[in-house]
Amino acid sequence: LELYSLTATTNQFYSSFFKQIILSSYGDKISINIYYLPRTIGITNSLFTIKTNRGNFYYNVSGIGKLNPFRLRPLINANIPLNSTYEYTIQFYNPYNYSLDINEIYTSDENLIIEFLTKRNIKNRITKTFEYYEQWRLKPYEIKSIIKINYFAYKLNKLHAYICIKTNFSDIIIIPVEINVFNRSGLYSNVDLLEFTNHRFILSSNKPITIPVYVFNNG
């Protein structure tokens, strides 16, 4: 049996690296890992198609996306022009009744840069050191800006990447990142979503919320 390719109907499910392979007729087998990285809340269904020399085989999968307890969202709707920079500051919420430490942050793409907020770090991986220990320690129920990410659009493509955050309680948080790069005239903003609160509701007793939005004309 010759395996040619493996495809899915949605990008919320993906598989481990797949290459063409031949399975012998004597019980030969291969293991393929399927991963679910939800971008939306609710049920997601997908159909995997395995193409072989004996026809196609189909495998249905489903998953349920839930609210992130750390109040993190996927960064998947950014549109930027060529030769510009996308920036986003990540705020992390500690949902526990005890202190939490962030041990490591890294990105899957070397061009998706991590920038520390108090001292510039041009890297795509940062681990905890004494220098910024307090910045990565969160008190119970505290929300704090931890890093800024930026991506320079040096070529026309769609960036597919992720940010991984590891804590001292074995939490592994994966944030999907998709950035569209265009080479056409138009108005572009520095943000893809206006986030007025990390909660579900804005109370009338809250102070006025101001968000700076920059729009530039790429004409």
Over its length of 219 residues, how does the chain's per-residue pLDDT go in tens digits? 888 888 899 989 988 766 788 888 778 888 888 889 898 889 999 999 999 998 999 999 999 999 889 999 898 888 889 988 888 889 999 999 999 999 989 999 999 999 887 655 545 665 555 556 677 899 999 999 999 999 999 999 899 899 999 999 888 899 999 999 998 888 887 666 777 766 666 666 667 777 777 777 877
Nearest residue to 74 via CA among 104, 37, 45, 108? 37
Q: What is the C-alpha separation between 125 and 172, in angstroms, rounded? A: 15
Q: Which numeric CATH code is attached to 75-184?
A: 2.60.40.10
Q: What is the C-alpha separation between 79 and 63, in angstroms, rounded? A: 28
Contact 44, 61 (CB under 8 A): no
Nearest residue to 110 via CA among 128, 131, 125? 125
Q: What is the C-alpha separation between 39 and 44, in angstroms, rounded? A: 9
User: Global pTM?
Assistant: 0.77
DSSP 120-153: ---BSEEE--GGGTGGGEE-TT-EEEEEEEEEE-
Contacts of 39 (CB under 8 A, 6+ apart): 11, 12, 65, 74, 76, 176
SS3 labels along 161-199: EEEEEEECCCCEEEEEEEEEEECCCCEEECCCCCCCCCC
Q: What is the C-alpha separation between 141 and 188, in angstroms, rounded? A: 35
Domain ranges of the chain: 2-65, 75-184
pLDDT at 209: 74
B/e letters for 7-28, b = 16+ CB within 10 Å, e = fewer, are ebeeebbbeeeeeeeeeeeeee
